[in-house]
A and B are shown apart, each in its own frame.
Chain A
């Protein structure tokens, strides 16, 4: 089963390479022949001067629909729409560093016990604040295309909620299912990219309709990708904190 999935993924990547190499048409910017590429028409200048969806009028919040990206937050439309492949690289970098921390410090069986006792007031207050923090984190990454924020800060806020739980409860450990969640979220990101490749012809293409600017379900793939990134980053950072708070198995 595992080998079959790996074979399918490699086959899809091979397909992606072949299709990208052979598409140099009007709507799909593939890889042109050697020496023919005009960089200034592809990078910043193109995005500065182009009009959105051929529409030169004013973009009105809450009224304009079917714009090219459809996300009200400009930064988000760059990060997970035009430059989504870079974000995939960033997520990979974070995954590699979390793996490094886990390799160096992981395998800890028990929590480091503090001499200082946590007061009951702080413990009760943390039980009230933690759900609020979790809700704030989820809000930040779901509304990443409307308000400032996004997957990475939302994940960091979720990890902060876990840190609060960890500080006030001496026996609290990160659930082992977090690692599974992290892996599946990374796989989901790549699969969304492959779906864009199969539907629209280029990797991580935004293939959902962009909707009306300012609504929650707008921006096409942007909220989906940011939810995936938020869950992944939150799980990874909580795992790093758990690794640091536990004792290594070699020193008993």
Chain B
């Protein structure tokens, strides 16, 4: 395991802990997306480009968008 992947792994663990412990849901969603993006780098380094493309488009991209849209819907439901 190279130094680069070790740094990525540690950053992923820290970001995941922040995502769990954060008080604001918005911060949690952004941190989850960052964990997904870092795992894309790991997948590419482990020579799994299929998984990397799927994770980048679905895990880091669309899931975040769906989470953010549903957060906005929840806030509107609270305000009404």
| A152 interface contact, C-beta 8 A | yes
Which residues of chain B have C-beta atoms less than 8 A from A73's C-beta?
50
Closest to A144 in B: B50
Contacting pair A237 B62 (CB below 8 A): yes
| Interchain CB contact under 8 A, A163 and B57 | no
CB atoms of A152 and B69 under 8 A apart = no
Do B57 and A244 touch (CB < 8 A)? no
Interface of B is mostly: helix
**Contact present for B58 and A244 (CB under 8 Å):** no
Interface residues of B in 37-72 (CB under 8 A from A): 49-50, 52-54, 56-58, 61-62, 65-66, 69-70, 72
**A149-B53 in contact given A156-B62, A237-B62 (Cβ < 8 Å):** yes
Closest Cβ–Cβ distance, residue A9 to chain B (whole Å): 30
- Asked whether A153 is an interface residue with its Cβ less than 8 Å from the other chain, the reply is yes
B76 in contact (CB, < 8 A)? yes
For the complex, give the distance between the alpha carbons of A247 and B73 in Å: 8
Q: Which residues of B contact A (CB under 8 A)?
A: 49-50, 52-54, 56-58, 61-62, 65-66, 69-70, 72-73, 76-77, 80
